[in-house]
Amino acid sequence: MTRQLQHAVIDSLPAQLAVLDAEGTIMSVNEAWRRFAAAAGCDVCADGVNFFEVCARTVAGPDRRAAADAALAAEGVRQVLDGVVPEFSMDVRCDTPAGRCWFTEQAVRFAGDGGPGVVLSFTDVTARRETEDAARHMATHDLLTGLPNRTVVSDRLTQALAAARRTGGGGAAV
């Protein structure tokens, strides 16, 4: 397969792909990655940028959920690069000017001419996550009022009573 054909195939994939070197520097991205970055106004994940530095800036930022996701993503990719695990996968939330979306991030190790590296892919799973969230909400909330249903109230009451018992607080036995 020619190099030109390989690039054409990779650029035609819907998943966003990036190739990282052993230090975590982005060596190459596919067209889907470039399109998403342009649409999201994200210039921090381009060729030559270090993935681990981007994660570190997010970890230091004010969004606690994004910080936790970034720390987990960096650790997972590092373990793949170091050969501790053969692959890593997690769902990550991405807030863009166009709205919130979800991706499954996957990292797999490869041995290139310049040493080990990682192929990092992001597959859009927004529709799946929205469906799961809607089903979870329907299972725990009254359809008419939107209030938590009996199962949720009972669960929260049990948790509150258990916490009160642990801390020596009062509370009726259930």
pLDDT at 17 over 80: yes
Question: What single string gives the DSSP state of each residue in 67-113?
Answer: HHHHHHHHHHHHHHHTTSSSEEEEEEEEEETTEEEEEEEEEEEEEET
For the chain, list the strands marked E by DSSP. Answer: 16-20, 26-29, 87-96, 99-112, 115-124
Condensed to tens digits (0 to 9), the pLDDT of residues 104-133 reads: 999 999 887 777 899 999 998 988 988 998
pLDDT at 155 over 80: yes
CB atoms within 10 A of CB 78: 18
Q: Which contacts (CB < 8 Å, 24+ apart) does range 1-9 have?
A: none
Of all residues in the chain, what percent carry a pLDDT higher than 70?
A: 94
pLDDT of residue 66: 85
Q: Tell me the average pLDDT of the chain.
A: 86
Query: What are the residues whose beta carbons fall under 8 Å from the beta carbon of 65, sequence distance 6 or more?
Result: 93
pLDDT of residue 76: 95
Condensed to tens digits (0 to 9), the pLDDT of residues 85-111 reads: 999 999 988 877 777 888 999 999 988
Q: Are residues 91 and 68 in contact, defined by beta-carbon separation less than 8 angstroms?
A: no
Q: What are the beta bridge partners of residue 112? A: 115
pLDDT of residue 33: 86
Q: Are residues 18 and 28 in contact, defined by beta-carbon separation less than 8 angstroms?
A: yes
Q: Report the C-alpha dihedral over residues 35, 37, 43, 47, rounded to 10 degrees.
A: -60
pLDDT of residue 171: 55
Condensed to tens digits (0 to 9), the pLDDT of residues 34-64 reads: 888 887 767 667 778 899 998 898 888 888 8
